[in-house]
Amino acid sequence: MEKDIQKDKVLWTKNFVIINIINLLIFFGFQMLLPTLPIYAKKLGGTNSVIGLVTGAFVVSSVIIRPISGLLLDKLGRQKVFLVGLFIFIVSVFSYSLVPFISAIIMIRFIHGFGWGAVSTASNTIASDNIPKDRFGEGMGYFSLTSSLAMAVAPTIGLFVISKYNFQILFLVSTLLAVLGGIVAFKLEYKKIENKEQTKTKASLYEKVSINPSIIVFFITITYGALTSFLPLYASQKGIENIGVFFTVYAISLFISRPIFGKIIDKLGFDYAIIPGFICVIISMALLSEASNISMFLISAFIYGIGFGATQSSLQTMAMTGVAPSRLGAANATFFTAFDCGVGLGAVILGVVSANVGYAQMYLWASGSAIIAFILYFIIGRKRKLQCKTLKL
């Protein structure tokens, strides 16, 4: 049901609580599959290159659908895009257990990316609709905690399920979580996009005022692509087992830092969150390149969580600030398209680098992308920051 949402300074409204619960459920089901689908593909006879296609197909489709979803969110409304995306997501996850063939898994993964790209863009837009402008940084920090919590717990649970039961149970649990999220979604009140708002803004797949912070986040997420793709291989090379704890520490660090930096953005401004964040990401990559034991890996994980939490939430806030309500969908799509591209291209580019110089040197190279993001912030990011300050948002 679409309604006019009251704009006030109350953050924890019924609507905001509900969208946080929904995001947690959907993200939990999504994160359970990240470390387990490659194992499933391997079990079905997939080679390493084919397993790469399983990941690549998902990234390609999610990048394709995000700008289209953003446009539709602003033209058709939040509810239709959100529920259709969720339906595709649910059907895709359930379908993994029906066709145990590697070629079918790649096709389903491609369709799954469409559902994930649409539903995640919509959920971020719905959250944006329900956060007071003067508490936007804080609100997005709390909203991001749901994904951080899922990131910390869900992969471990997914691996536990396939070790104790089987992949069919895993797919069923993931499906049920998404279905539960869909049921809760019927309690949401969606922002109504007025016709007069739509006529004030030109229809476009991308939001112009969100481009600068999106470019910067692209270079930051290259480092995240390096972590998700190559860290287990790097740790194995160093003789370190159970490296999954790295991502747990990283997620805990995100969980702690995001709300803190959100409040800092609202009270002191972007510099006080983004600059320390960049420094932390650079340091963490440099430490990782020199890591020789589990302690160094975990220190790097904690520092990276602080840095990534500060920069990602700050840049997302910057991308949303000053955007017309009828363009929030496009703004979220612009930001997360750049986010996905950074992760995907980071894995590809740094994979080539690692083949030539090794994993340790690759992470030192990855710190270079964070340095580029740091420089770009002072060239194009601060210009956007001054626009936000002028708008007093």
**How do residues 111-120 score in pLDDT, each as one tens digit?**
999 999 999 9
CATH number, domain at 142? 1.20.1250.20
Which DSSP symbol is given to 324? -
Q: How many domains does the chain have?
A: 2
Alpha-carbon gap, residue 36 to 167, rounded angstroms: 8
| 386 has a pLDDT exceeding 60 | no
| 198 has a pLDDT exceeding 70 | no
Domain match, 297 and 326 both: yes
Domain match, 127 and 235 both: no
Domain membership of residue 75 (yes or no) is yes
Last residue of a domain, one of 191, 214, 238: 191
- pLDDT for the residue 263: 84
| 174 has a pLDDT exceeding 50 | yes
Strand-pairing partners, residue 2, are 190
Alpha-carbon gap, residue 392 to 321, rounded angstroms: 9
Task: Single out the residue of 158, 157, 177 nearest to residue 39, CA to CA.
Answer: 158
Domain match, 219 and 84 both: no
Domain match, 131 and 218 both: no
Domain match, 227 and 326 both: yes
Within 8 A by CB and 6+ apart from 180, the residues are: 25
Q: Is 262 within 8 Å of 141 (Cβ atoms)?
A: yes
Domain membership of residue 197 (yes or no) is no
Domain match, 222 and 141 both: no
Task: Single out the residue of 131, 128, 124 nearest to residue 8, CA to CA.
Answer: 131
Domain membership of residue 200 (yes or no) is no
Domain match, 183 and 276 both: no
- pLDDT for the residue 389: 52
Last residue of a domain, one of 145, 168, 191: 191
Q: Which two tokens stand for residue 292?
A: 């020789």
| 4 has a pLDDT exceeding 90 | no
Q: Return the minimum-mean-pLDDT range out of 17-31, 192-206, 274-288.
A: 192-206
Q: Return the minimum-mean-pLDDT range out of 62-66, 78-82, 151-155, 332-336.
A: 151-155
Q: How far does CA 228 lie from the centroid of its chain?
A: 13
- pLDDT for the residue 393: 45
Domain membership of residue 199 (yes or no) is no
| pTM: predicted TM-score of the whole model, two decimal places | 0.78
What domain range is 108 assigned to? 1-191
- pLDDT for the residue 11: 87
Domain match, 231 and 363 both: yes
Q: What percent of the chain has pLDDT over 70?
A: 91
Domain match, 309 and 368 both: yes
Q: Which two tokens stand for residue 376?
A: 């770009």
Domain membership of residue 201 (yes or no) is no
Domain match, 243 and 387 both: yes
Q: What is the mean pLDDT of the chain?
A: 85
At 107, which amino acid appears? M
Write the DSSP string, 174-237.
HHHHHHHHHHHHTT--EEP--HHHHHHS---SS-GGGHHHHHHHHHHHHHHHHHHHHHHHHHHH
In tens, the pLDDT along 117-146 reads 999 999 999 998 898 888 887 888 788 888
Q: Which two tokens stand for residue 76?
A: 């058709």
| 278 has a pLDDT exceeding 60 | yes
Domain membership of residue 198 (yes or no) is no
- pLDDT for the residue 390: 47
Beta strands 190-191 and 2-3, pairing class: parallel
Number of C-beta neighbours around residue 166 at 10 A: 12
| 219 has a pLDDT exceeding 90 | yes
Domain membership of residue 233 (yes or no) is yes
Domain match, 84 and 212 both: no
| 292 has a pLDDT exceeding 80 | yes
| 250 has a pLDDT exceeding 60 | yes
Which DSSP symbol is given to 131? S
What's the average model confidence in pLDDT over 311-325?
84
What's the average model confidence in pLDDT over 19-29?
95
Domain match, 236 and 285 both: yes
198: left (phi > 0), else alpha (psi -120 to 50), else beta? alpha
Alpha-carbon gap, residue 365 to 373, rounded angstroms: 13
- Count of residues making up the chain: 393
In tens, the pLDDT along 221-231 reads 999 888 877 78
